[in-house]
Structure 1
Amino acid sequence: MVQRFDVGPRLSEMAVYNGTVYLAGQVPSDATQDAQGQTQQVLAAIDALLARAGTDKTRILMAQIFIADLADFPGLNAAWDAWVPAGHTPPRATVEARLAKPEWKVEIVVTAAL
């Protein structure tokens, strides 16, 4: 059985299937902040969704990061490094991409185990 959370007309924020949690791309709620601030917001949203599913960031299997400008890479990494637990750094890919809203600096997609 697939369990979906926050189902909307276009997407669900999260789906759980067969012991795996799939998150939609998470974006900042306050796009006026710099890349580090936006990344902190996104990581907090990921924490909240994973908690709702009954898991946490120590069980992340893969993170895909989309950043609008690679010049913001140091700010993104500062927020990431402060957030990710030592010994639990997941595989990660980071690519520069044009995001859906020009004011967004970062979007993160996470897959985690229950």
Structure 2
Amino acid sequence: MSSDFSSIIRRFGVGQRGSLAVVHQGTGYFACTPQAPYDGSLSIAEQTRQLLAKAEGRLAEIGSAKEGLIFCAIMLADMDDYAAMNEVWDDWVSGIAPPARACFEARLASPDLKVEMIMVSAANAA
């Protein structure tokens, strides 16, 4: 038996395997990577800047902004990149109350990916 949740769940960029973002009861959920196709020759700082620019666009699309971030899980392909990623992150959250966050090393889907983030934010429920 199938239920229709379209009145309480908004989905953005629906694809075969998943949606780019989902909003339910005023909370938005999405994962973000640097620009595709991924360029492994870019530094972690450059990939992080790309990712955060993409995240800002996704936040705007769901009716939010970086000030609305609640939580961010940061996955690095190599923890040796932690300090360089943090420099970009710290600049990005400068001037706002930053979200709760966790950072860990993970094997990412492409060897060219150096960073990926999962974000949860307050979002426009309309």
Q: TM-score range by the shorter chain?
A: over 0.9
Q: Which position in structure 2 is the counterpart of 1:2?
A: 9
The 1-side partners of 2:18 and 2:85 are apart by 26
For residues 1-114 of structure 1, the aligned pairs below 5 Å read 1-23=8-30, 25-29=31-35, 30-31=38-39, 32-114=41-123
Moved over 6 A (4+): none
**Gaps spanning 5+ residues in structure 1: where?**
none
Aligned-residue RMSD, C-alpha? 1.0
TM-score (norm 1): 0.95
Instruction: Tell which structure's C-alpha radius of gyration is larger.
Output: 2
Q: CA deviation at 1:86?
A: 2.7
The 2-side partners of 1:10 and 1:18 are apart by 23
Q: CA deviation at 1:85?
A: 3.5
**Gaps spanning 5+ residues in structure 2: where?**
1-7
Q: Percent identity?
A: 37
- How many residues end up aligned between the 2 structures? 113
Give the conservation status (yes or no) of the 8 Å contact 1:15–1:21: yes
